[in-house]
Amino acid sequence: MTLTTNGPDESVVAAPTAPAAQRRGGRWIDDWRPEDPEFWESTAAPIAKRNLIWSIFAEHLGFSVWLIWSVSSVFLVAQGFAFTPSQLFFLVAIPNLVGALIRVPYTLAVGRFGGRNWTMISAGLLLIPTLSFAYAVTQPGTPYWVFCVIAATAGFGGGNFASSMANINFFYPAHLKGAALGLNAAGGNLGVAIIQLFLPVIVGGAGIFGLVKASEGGIHLQRAAWVYAGLAVVAVLAAFFFMDNLSNARTDTKQQLSVLKHRHTWVMSLLYIGTFGSFIGYSAAMPLLIKLNFWRQPVPAVEGIGINFAFYAFLGALVGSVARPLGGHLADRFGGARITVLAFGGLVLGTLGILLTLGQLQELPPAPDKAALAAIAADPAAFSYPDSVRAAVENNADVFPVFLGIFLFVFACTGIGNGSTYKMIPAIFRKDAVVATAEGSPERELAVLDATKKSSAAVGIIGAVGAIGGFLIPITFNSPWVTAPLDATRSAFTIFTAFYVVCLVVTFTVYLRRRKGAAADSGYVGV
């Protein structure tokens, strides 16, 4: 407190001051009580905001590096690497699998090392995929398996999401978690849109709706890698100077892994496959889907025909990212389960609409083989597109606006569902704490803190399982049981539609349908 006086003859009056967060060395905060309204308003809110801002920055870079292959794989052929569509789909899928698998250890690392410390480490790890990428794409003899290994290291960026979300979950009170986690996730998800928008521009492959022309000097993929390597260094320094560790976020691994026994961890994992798995999977596959079905350009020296994927590939990730905080806000207001049901309903309608548009497309012939591409590159003036190819491309280009519009609606639903499901996770564990303790009791306060720790651990596990969808979707688009690429795309969307129906039914049955005779405050209805 401070001492104030109103004059020389008046008594000294004690004036209370705002409680301060107790700190120690290494930017550790020992006293953190976000559920205390006075502490939150006077002390915690600005600290939480500062950590959220730099968490978003680091996570944004992680997502960009994670999805760098979604666009760069399309340009590999233009840079002289003769890979088949099957190889390219697998290349964009590998980072998603690795990113999913490492999310659990990344989440556990927050409790062990501290959120600020782990942000520095995880941002520094992004130098591995970026620098190795910069070298490999400049070596014409780099074999396919080396690209697969480098793509796997890009999965480090996918782990950043889990640790970032687990960390920010500790900073905010329950009534603000949906919005805070939504903003944190949206800022990260925007990394997908940004890399897909600007990578074609940076490397000289045109972009931004054709406003930027292709470089006359050809494609230089290494430029994008150098840019993001530099930004990773910035993220390390920003975390060092501006972020904090929370002592009450520290917990042992056994306690965190106890959420594996909670059945709702696995129910929410299923739902998150449908929301986030769809977002990241569609984002990774969209550039290739547009290129294979709507665009033809055998070599950069030949003018392309149809819809250039570089102009539109980023739009899906952009819409899904912007919609995510909206989903969190709506979940805060109306309940996560209700918004999640609406999101899955939209996904069912959207994928059915895409199936209708796919029925109007014509199958495009495969790209020329390596020898044919070399011949075209040697004498591009002598090349002309067959009439059948031009007719098919023009037909598909007429369908593209409808296809794109419906696909963007699907992305919006994935974003809203991402925000609403992440609101549900802490709400479920908080409901356990509230039901088991008395209001206003010390046991309630301890139980709520323990619920926050458990929900942060669950975020990592649920995020890991959900991200596997990002691997399965590109693989399904290249369905090995279907030979024609267009037929494989139709088969994939049929499978996705059926899965969304299952997710809708599960959400409604578990989290919305009130059972007869159940008490009003029992179960997880309306979380």
CATH of the domain at 59: 1.20.1250.20
pLDDT category at 279 given cuts 50, 70, 90 is very high
In total, how many domains does the chain have? 1
* Residue that has been written with the tokens 């039901």 in this structure: 435
188 or 400: which carries more pLDDT confidence?
Answer: 400
16 or 188: which carries more pLDDT confidence?
Answer: 188
Q: Does 267 fall in a domain?
A: yes
**Residue 487: pLDDT over 80:** yes
Q: Which amino acid is at 143?
A: P
Cα maximum dimension of the chain: 101
DSSP 248-270: GG---HHHHHGGGG-HHHHHHHH
Q: Does 173 fall in a domain?
A: yes
- Mean pLDDT over 488-514 rounds to 92
pLDDT for 5 equals 33
Q: Does 31 fall in a domain?
A: no
DSSP bridge pairs for 214: 205
Q: How many whole angstroms separate alpha carbon 196 and alpha carbon 473?
A: 18
pLDDT category at 209 given cuts 50, 70, 90 is low
418 vs 57, 94, 154, 185, 510, CA distance in Å? 19, 22, 22, 9, 18
**Enclosing domain of residue 269:** 45-366+386-511
Q: Strand 28-29 relative to strand 245-246: parallel, antiparallel, unpaired? A: parallel
257's CB contacts (< 8 A; 6+ apart) are 108, 457
Q: How many whole angstroms separate alpha carbon 327 and alpha carbon 333?
A: 10
132 vs 5, 77, 203, 229, 310, CA distance in Å? 66, 19, 16, 10, 24
**Residue 81: pLDDT over 60:** yes
Helix axes 278-294, 309-334, angle to 10 degrees: 150
Q: Does 496 fall in a domain?
A: yes
> How high is the mean pLDDT of the chain?
85
Cα within 13 Å of Cα(182), Cβ side: 28
- Mean pLDDT over 216-221 rounds to 73
415 vs 236, 266, 280, 408, 512, CA distance in Å? 28, 20, 10, 11, 21
pLDDT for 114 equals 92
Q: Which token pair is 306?
A: 């149809």
- Let me know: does 290 contact 403? Beta carbons within 8 Å: no
- Mean pLDDT over 279-306 rounds to 86
- Let me know: does 106 contact 159? Beta carbons within 8 Å: yes
12: left (phi over 0), alpha (psi -120 to 50) or beta: beta
* Lowest-pLDDT range of 97-106, 230-239, 298-307: 298-307
Q: Does 435 fall in a domain?
A: yes
Sign of CA dihedral 405, 408, 410, 416: negative
475's CB contacts (< 8 A; 6+ apart) are 89, 90, 93
Three-class secondary structure of residue 271 per DSSP: helix
- Name the strand (E) or helix (H) holding 281: helix 278-294
Cβ atoms < 10 Å from Cβ of 52: 21
- Mean pLDDT over 20-42 rounds to 82
398's CB contacts (< 8 A; 6+ apart) are none
**Residue 262: pLDDT over 90:** no
CA 469: distance to chain centroid? 11
* Lowest-pLDDT range of 209-218, 361-370, 422-431: 209-218
Single out the residue of 140, 137, 159 nearest to residue 73, CA to CA. 137
Q: Does 393 fall in a domain?
A: yes
pLDDT for 526 equals 66
Single out the residue of 131, 157, 148 nearest to residue 65, CA to CA. 157
pLDDT category at 1 given cuts 50, 70, 90 is very low
Q: Does 15 fall in a domain?
A: no
Q: Which token pair is 14?
A: 């004690």
